[in-house]
Structure 1
Amino acid sequence: MARAHRRKQHKEPIVVRENLDFGLDGDDIPRYWLANNPYKTRMFDAVQATFPDGERYFIKAVRAFRDRITDPALQAEVTDFIRQEGQHGMVHTRYNERLKRQGIAIEAFTKHTRQIEETRMRRYSPEYNLALTASLEHFTAMMADLFFAEKSMLAGADERVRAMFAWHAIEEMEHKAVAFDVMKQVAKVGYFKRCAAMTHATFSFTLYTLISPWFMLRMDGYSPREALAIYTQHMPWALGKVLGRLLPMIARYYRPGFHPNDIPTVHNYMDWVESYQRGANPIAAGEAMYGAAA
């Protein structure tokens, strides 16, 4: 008799870390904190601008099924997931306040995100909203791997901002399977709805990521011609090094039988965790993770 194949699981404990201080209120953080590069900086800034309202959407989508969870372990994971996402929302709200001080009309970005999430909650079923949440959670977990596995992706970044993204990345990896497990075990979402939600999420997220930096660059004072030149220069990086590497990671989600814990945690995860355990210093932990990148 053939021996049953046992799939290896990559699951980290979900740890709630509260009241982390990244020094984001300091006006000495460069406007273009990522290697003095306007496009790369504003791409990160535009994506993270969606996080406070996005995290609230994720929490609502999972909470809709909380009363139906009978597994105590999954119930505990949902509680920790909600607490982690709540902390992410608070920190990124403070970061958005920094962008507002720079003259970025951040309310336009947050209002756009909020309107999309409210429309989804009103228009789609609770099951489909949960499927979208599970898809976007896979997106963020894979982005964490994309940007922190190699030094080149965040080389030259201000250590405080890089530390904020490192902490967020760590926790996305820790709770990467929670929404998925609720979707599969409790909401009973099938394969085709799961794939439809991922296609929807991929299209909307990619479109936003490519378009939104344009508006921030214009708010920075670049003329349309100057902004177009910046875009032209950086499209090989955005389409090749970012989306070109991210989309194959996303494609794993379409495999029948897929589970988020099938994917190994980024190799320098423990460097962050061990550094933080030593001194509860998120900036030092971020630098430890960056220093251990390939």
Structure 2
Amino acid sequence: MHGSAHMGNPDDIIPRDIRFGILENAQRHWLDGDIIKTVLIDGLSIFLPEGERFFIRSLKHYGPKIADRELAAEINGYAIQEAFHTREHEEYNRAMTALGYDVESMEKPIRLGFEVVKNPLHRLAITCAIEHMTATLSSLTLRHPELLDNAAPAYRRLWMWHALEELEHKAVALDVLKAATPDMSRWQRYLVRVLGMNATLFPFLVLFLRNVPIYAKADGVKTGLRFWLRFIWVTLVAPGYWRRCMPNVLRYYLPGFDPRNSDDAELMRKGREWLANDMPPGRAAAPANPAV
């Protein structure tokens, strides 16, 4: 039963209307002056505006059909958070365009990929999968804030904010899947979930890796053997961003997987504290009016 035991009550989903000014502070290689570390994060932003609009549509479709009013309120909080994320990442991507990166050609196949998915249940399953992937990256970011120690401040703030809010709403999509499929057995629901992850993980990697050379080209960087060996080193060895994420991404394939099993309350507390202390004056982390 969806109820008090769960971490995602509406008090926890706090939409924060913050503008990070990435466009005014647009910077190449803003993490450690390193193109590979930077493209690993900039490359995610390429997916986000289209992705977040897709997530909002996926969940809003089920909102009116769900009897659980608490969950319906969470969908609303989730949609407001994601709308702010969309706005900030659209600006982020405009900043990349201003720096000379070909955002349009990187984004196009992603847009087409999302448009192909018409069935509401498929949309929901893909949303659940991507939310799990973003929650995994968010946990890593909040657990190891030192990974962003040498990041340009505006970018670091944006990603820490995004990580915090992804954790706050990480269980909503799976709760909606459960509420939207009351006639399914646990195994049928498990199958829907796993097929959603299979339909997400491989295309994501293919599109991400396709975009890396397009990004590097704007910097006049040749993506030859040395580049890719270092790419593998950074993703899988040190700092090993993808290697660190792998175990949690794979947990999604466990039949009893529950996003609430891990104790994120402490990480969220740290994230909220960090956000309150790190925002410059005049850009305070004010919660948005939920009536928006």
TM, length-normalised to structure 1: 0.84
Q: Name the CA distance, whole Å, in 2 between partners of 1:264 and 1:283.
A: 32
Give the 4+ runs in structure 1 shifted more than 4 A: 8-12, 275-286
Query: Does the CA-based 8 Å contact 1:46-1:212 persist in structure 2?
Result: yes
Q: Name the CA distance, whole Å, in 2 between partners of 1:283 and 1:235.
A: 40
Match of 1:67 in 2: 64
Alignment of 1:212-291 (within 5 A): 212-225=211-224, 228-240=225-237, 241-265=240-264, 267-276=266-275, 281=280
Q: Which residues of structure 1 form unaligned runs of 5+?
A: 1-7, 287-294
Post-superposition shift, 1:233? 1.7
Match of 1:154 in 2: 148
Query: Does the CA-based 8 Å contact 2:168-2:268 persist in structure 1?
Result: no
TM-aligned CA distance change 1:230 to 1:155, over 3 Å:
farther
Q: Name the CA distance, whole Å, in 2 between partners of 1:200 and 1:132.
A: 7
CA RMSD of aligned residues (A): 2.4
Post-superposition shift, 1:75? 0.5
Query: Does the CA-based 8 Å contact 1:275-1:285 persist in structure 2?
Result: no
Q: Name the CA distance, whole Å, in 2 between partners of 1:90 and 1:284.
A: 16
TM-aligned CA distance change 1:278 to 1:248, over 3 Å:
closer
Query: Does the CA-based 8 Å contact 1:10-1:262 persist in structure 2?
Result: no
Q: Which residues of structure 2 form unaligned runs of 5+?
A: 286-292
Alignment of 1:1-294 (within 5 A): 10-11=7-8, 13-18=12-17, 20-27=18-25, 29-121=26-118, 125-188=119-182, 190-225=189-224, 228-240=225-237, 241-265=240-264, 267-276=266-275, 281=280
Match of 1:3 in 2: none
TM-aligned CA distance change 1:144 to 1:278, over 3 Å:
closer
Cα deviation digits, residues 144-186 of structure 1 (max 9, x gap): 1123312442231111101101111110000001111111112
Post-superposition shift, 1:284? 9.0
Q: Name the CA distance, whole Å, in 2 between partners of 1:34 and 1:140.
A: 19
Q: Share of identical aligned residues, percent?
A: 29
Give the counterpart letter for 1:164 in structure 2: L
Q: Name the CA distance, whole Å, in 2 between partners of 1:40 and 1:153.
A: 10
Q: Name the CA distance, whole Å, in 2 between partners of 1:270 and 1:55.
A: 24
Match of 2:289 in 1: none
Post-superposition shift, 1:21? 2.2
Give the counterpart letter for 1:184 in structure 2: K
TM, length-normalised to structure 2: 0.85
